[in-house]
Amino acid sequence: MTDSKAEQPPIVPVILAAGQGKRMRSSLPKVLQPLAEAPLLDHVLAAVEDLGAAPPVVVVGHGGQQVEGHLAGRELRIAHQSEQLGTGHAVAQALPLIEDEAIVLVLYGDVPLIGADTLRELAAQAVDGALAWLTVHVDDPTGLGRILRDDSGAVVGIVEERDTTPAQRGLREVNTGILAVHCAALKRWVAALNCDNAQGEYYLTDCLAMAVNEGVRVRVHRCGDIREVLGINDRRQLAEAERTLNRMRADALLAQGVTLRDPARLDVRGHVEAARDVEIDIGVVLNGRVELGEGCYIGPYCVLSDCTVAAGARIEAHSVIERAEIGEACTVGPFARLRPGARLADKARVGNFVEVKNATIGLGSKVNHLSYIGDATLGAGVNIGAGTITCNYDGANKHHTRIGDGAFIGSNTALVAPVEVGESATVGAGSVLTRTAPAGELTLARARQTTIQGWQRPVKRKE
């Protein structure tokens, strides 16, 4: 029995990323402009990775050193376009790196929302030697190339807007520039391109007419979601793409059973895995990789970055969580900050104006307000009073604090690390602890209260 997958030609994406992007008015190349915290180019590369294609060829030009530096260490190949002479010229720089039998998938580094499913469907239509071209219908085609069809409805070519006749300008089916075809055919057509047009450029779109003239079957695949083919040329379009991408990601969360109080007021700037019955309030920002367990709640205006929130946990309003792990049924906030390395065991509580960094808060332990816990390990059932801090930094090195199960730390205590508090120990309020507090005992470390009889408060002199 033959494995049909093994017989399929490889799909090699060619990503055009050589444009300057003058309308961005930026020293950063256009394809490196950030969209949801990731460069435009990275979104295209992510779609290619999801597609499961061969390593892509990225065509760089303007700002090539910056783009190459950003791509360093990735599994891909680089082609250089020293002069920007059009899309056909850009593709020509990549083709020598690709074997003839491969299917070339032409993509654009400034069209970041293209989906892997759409690309997979397009590439499948080119397997038998056809030219597959992605189009879309729009209400306003201004600035876009029009798809030309004959009286029978067959596609015969593409005309750029600058070269259209008045009748052609009214066409609503437009070119996305995204295509799939066997490399051997594309090499032949690209070699025959000329620059006899209003722009004096080598248009990749002219390849479609060449295919028709050769009798090659042309299959037009209409993109079902216009958002996937939005190009980014200026800051306004970048901002619109940000909202578009966030709405797409919000829709995906809703489909998974997540409750969003207002999808328009959620910013998803990374990858979110959410179980059912998660609730997210307004103004929340999710960065990096965020995992949300079943039934957890994220309150308004929280920022979560690269963190895990387990089932039933509540993150109250205005809390900031970065590279932290939050156990089941925990409560965090409001106005709490969990910094990298913070780990909360199940049912732990971190309250308002508390900061935790590189520390473990044990099962059911409480740090309810106005405290800093850094470089520390707290056991189960620990109670930390208001205003407590771990003095973990001596100006050069960090030191660790250990607090045993069931310990009680009174308010306004300073724990000068390295220091240890034993199980079920009590530390009196206002203490400055520099040595071990024994298990099960009360430890006080504060100056004796003194009253100065007859003392007079200083008074300002009258001038």
Give the SS3 label for residue 227.
Answer: helix
**369 belongs to the catalytic site:** yes
Q: Using alpha carbons, list the distances in angstroms from residue 384 to 196, 389, 410, 435.
A: 77, 9, 7, 18
Q: Could you tell me the sign of the dihedral formed by the alpha carbons of 238, 243, 247, 253, in that order?
A: positive
Other residues' Cβ atoms within 10 Å of the Cβ of residue 27 = 7
Give the residues across from 286 on adjacent strands.
268, 304
Specify the amino acid at residue 210: M
Q: Which one-letter DSSP state was computed for residue 30?
A: G
Contacts of 392-401 with CB under 8 Å at 24 or more apart are: 392/417, 398/358, 398/374, 399/375, 400/375, 400/376, 401/375, 401/376, 401/377
- Residues constituting the chain: 463
Cα 256 vs. chain centroid, distance in angstroms?
A: 19
Residue 298: burial class (beta carbons within 10 Å; 0-12, 13-18, 19+): buried
Q: Could you tell me the sign of the dihedral formed by the alpha carbons of 293, 294, 299, 300, in that order?
A: positive
Tokens of 256: 């998974």
The catalytic residue among 70, 369, 399, 400 is: 369
**Which residues are marked as active site?**
369
